Structure 1
Amino acid sequence: MFRASTSTAAATSQSGELPARIAWHRPLLAVAAAMTVLAIVSSIGLIVDHREVTGLPLWAKPLKFALSIVIYSVTLAWLIGLLRRGRRFAWWAGTISAVLLLVEMVAIVGAAVGATTSHFNVSTAFHAAIWGIMAVSIVIVWFAAMVVTALLVFGGRRGGAALGDGARTVAIRSGIVIAVIGMGLAFLMTSPTAAQLDNFQGIAGAHTVGLADGGQGIPILGWSTVAGDLRIPHFVGMHALQLIPLAALIVELLMKRMPALRPERFRVAIVVTVTALYSGILLLLTLQALAGESIVRPSTLTTIVAALLYLSAACAITVILVLGARRRAQRGQTALSTRDRWSHGSLG
């Protein structure tokens, strides 16, 4: 079964290029395909079904989760395929994730069909059981992601995983570590609020901080525009898995136009800087949400800290590029001097 689901990746070249063939995890790709279909169906639902749940269109949550799972499943299927050591263990972790992600979506779609909320709903024994299944499922998915993370991070560069050069390796490893942290931030939403404890209405847990769920929010996403919202750092953290490796890819593409980026250590330094910036922004968004502060109405302190983070990253990247350019120029001068000495020696 394992052999049928994967193929042997080609050996990594000495230049650090990724293998030409990747042993994609097929069960996760199947989940991604199913979620793509669900995303289309949910988009149609948004058009033809105008009912709302907690102030949002009924089919907005299935659409959001379907798209998120598509991205997550494809990325995890790719990462598992990069592994050389522990691939069988990772394959089972990915397969369990695939099954439980489907369980999660069945519950979400079922709640949408019933015109009710899926998350935090303990209003009846049936809804409490469904919410319990969802909670257990997503915790197991989280642990499965940690298994893959451990194999990627601690597998070692020799035979552990075919991640490519140093910059890609840092990007992939840091991206999945931050993504696991982002997934873990969901636990902050699962405790009942003080208002819910004082006046229990069958809901135990909330996305927003400072106000009840269902107020003014960003269209489709639903993120609160009047209170803190823990979905924001959860979302940003999870998608470090895609965004940080994307940053590494952009740096690699810029290498053709910017010779200063050709030495690997300078690309690694830029990826480390981007990772530090991403981590700082994630921490800031988490503290902002916990403080009950809206993402669109940041306090003066939040604005200053964010500006300092971006400015620090910009300065660091500028210094890296300047050092890279100087190094490139010095190497060019050295090569020219060597050529001149050889030329004069030949003439003599």
Structure 2
Amino acid sequence: MILLTVGSAVGVFIDDRIIVGTRIWSKPLKFSASFTLYGLSLAWMLSLSTRARRTGWWAGTVVAATIVIEMVIVIVQVARGRRSHFNQETELDTTLYDVMGTTVAVLWGASVLIAILLFRSDLPDRASAWALRLGALIAMIGAALGFLMTTPTGEQQAAAAKGPTDTVGAHAVGVPDGGPSMPLTGWSTTGGDLRIPHFVGMHALQLLPLLVLALLVLGARLPRLRDEGVRLRLVVTAAATYAALVALVTWQALRGQPLIHPDAATLLTLAGILAAGALGVYTSLRSAPETTPDTETKTATDTERELVR
């Protein structure tokens, strides 16, 4: 995936073919970069699992195999100058898209199994353990939100009633795919875009564990963060806030509203989520126990051990 990311980036610059309003190599570039992060995160999480490690190995292998199948099809369609997703123009296009749908479902199932193994594992630091568990759970929800894109739009259903259609499913809501979009991400600027909650949800897998690492590093200077209970409460607060944001961008996309043009209801809900998150952070930090110099030295040593581990 790393090599494919580099190759796709080169393709974006040297291949001027356009598919649905964007350069044809944009999709393999975004997919390979995302799969790189996803694969590295799952591999690291599996290394921390303490239960059914052989089962976890097989689940990780299934994830890797399905990622390869997915990307092979995407590259084949790029070589043919065709859409890889939602494409039913020919029998071959339909078959390839159906195979992709099956591999994504298998990938999701294997990832759920890995998440279950993490929930059952005994990890030494509770904050780290719950960051991994909740990050994996939110990521699975984000991945599942991708299936919303496979549902036929109202226009496609009306066309299907009259005969066979070339396209089933879409990224955009309320507007056709391929319209004005944000740079780099390609997300619609005129309608809702279901890729946004899919993207935001899946990357909880990286962001919540990174939060724990940041808390451990900051704990060397901030005594309150040296308490495991405080770090755990901050992780739970962050996970709840993040999950609420995933729900918000999903709601926004389903209403056909662009991410960069929120209405009053979206902004008011966002303000409520951020306020609740800030209150949770304040409450978590206030709950820190009083520490003495000896206690602080001990907890600092424990923090260093956790960082080494």
From 169, 191, 212, the counterpart of 2:129: 169
The aligned amino acid for 2:79 is: V
Match of residue 108, structure 2, among 119, 126, 142 = 142
User: Structure 2 counterpart of 1:43, which letter?
Assistant: A
1:135-167 Cα distance to aligned partner (Å, 9 max, x none): 0001000000011111111x242xxxxx34011
Number of the residue aligned with 1:52: 18
Find the residue that maps to 2:103 and give its secondary structure. Answer: helix
Within 5 Å, which residues of 2 pair with 1:199-210? 199=159, 201-210=165-174
1:121-140 mapped onto 2 (5 Å cutoff): 121-140=87-106
Aligned length: 292
1:273 and 1:317 in contact (8 A); partners too: yes
**Contact 1:56 1:220 survives alignment (8 Å):** no
Match of 1:185 in 2: 145
Work out which of the residue numbers 317, 328, 335 in structure 1 matches 2:290.
328
User: 1:71 is matched with which residue?
Assistant: 37
Residue 154 of structure 2 corresponds to: 194
Equivalent positions of 1:294-305 (< 5 A) are 294-305=258-269
Distance 1:239 1:108 in 2: 21
Supply the AA of the counterpart residue of 2:209.
P
Task: Output the CA distance in 1 between the equivalents of 2:175 and 2:118.
Answer: 40
- Where does residue 272 of structure 1 map in the other structure? 236
Q: Is the 8 A contact 1:57 1:220 kept in 2?
A: no
Instruction: Give me the whole-angstrom Cα distance separating, in 1, the residues matched to 2:69 and 2:286.
Output: 51
Taking structure 1 as reference, are residues 334 and 174 closer, same or farther at Cα in structure 2, changes over 3 Å only?
closer
| Gap regions ≥5 residues in structure 2 | 297-309
Q: Give the structure 2 partner of residue 261 of structure 1.
A: 225
Q: 1:91 to 1:333 in 2, by over 3 A?
A: closer
Distance 1:333 1:256, change over 3 A: closer
Cα RMSD after superposing both structures: 1.7
Q: Distance in 1 between matches of 2:42 and 2:228?
A: 26
State the 1:332 CA deviation: 6.2
Does the 8 A contact of 1:60 with 1:221 survive in 2? no
- 1:61 paired to 2:21: no
Match of 2:200 in 1: 236
How far did residue 123 of structure 1 move? 1.1
Q: Structure 2 counterpart of 1:203, which letter? A: T
Structure with the greater alpha carbon radius of gyration: 1
Q: Is the CA contact (8 Å cut-off) linking 2:50 and 2:121 kept in structure 1?
A: no
Do structure 1's residue 120 and structure 2's residue 86 form an aligned pair?
A: yes
CA contact (8 A) 1:171 1:245 kept: yes
Q: 1:267 to 1:124 in 2, by over 3 A?
A: same
Partner Cα separation in structure 1 for residue 173 and residue 113 of structure 2: 31
Following TM superposition, by how much is the alpha carbon of 1:333 offset from its aligned partner in structure 2, in angstroms? 12
Identity %: 39
Task: Determine the C-alpha separation between the residues in 1 that align with 2:233 and 2:73.
Answer: 43
Instruction: Please give the per-residue CA displacement for 1:282-321, whole angstroms capped at 9, x wherever unaligned.
Output: 0111111111111000111101111111122112212322
Deviations 1:92-125 (A, max 9, x none): 1111111111010011111112222100111111
TM-score normalised per structure 2: 0.91
* CA deviation vs aligned residue, 1:34-55 (integer Å, no higher than 9, x gap): x111111111111111111100
Q: Quick check: 1:252 aligned with 2:216?
A: yes
Distance 1:305 1:131 in 2: 37
Q: 2:290 is aligned with what amino acid?
A: R
Separation in structure 2 between the aligned mates of residue 333 and residue 310 of structure 1, nearest angstrom: 36
CA offsets per residue over residues 257-286 of structure 1, 9 Å max, x none?
110111110110111110010010001111
**Which residues of 2 match residues 307-326 of structure 1 at below 5 A?**
307-324=271-288
Question: What amino acid is aligned across from residue 272 of structure 1 in structure 2?
Answer: V
Per the alignment, in what secondary structure is the counterpart of residue 290 of structure 2?
Answer: helix
- Do the aligned partners of residues 38 and 332 (structure 1) sit closer, same or farther apart at CA in structure 2, a change above 3 Å counting? closer
Q: Could you say if the C-alpha distance between residues 334 and 57 of structure 1 is closer, same or farther in structure 2, counting changes exceeding 3 Å? A: closer
CA spacing shift, 1:193–1:334, aligned 2, 3 Å: closer
Cα pair 2:51 2:121 within 8 Å, conserved: no
- CA distance in 1 between counterparts of 2:170 and 2:124 reads 41
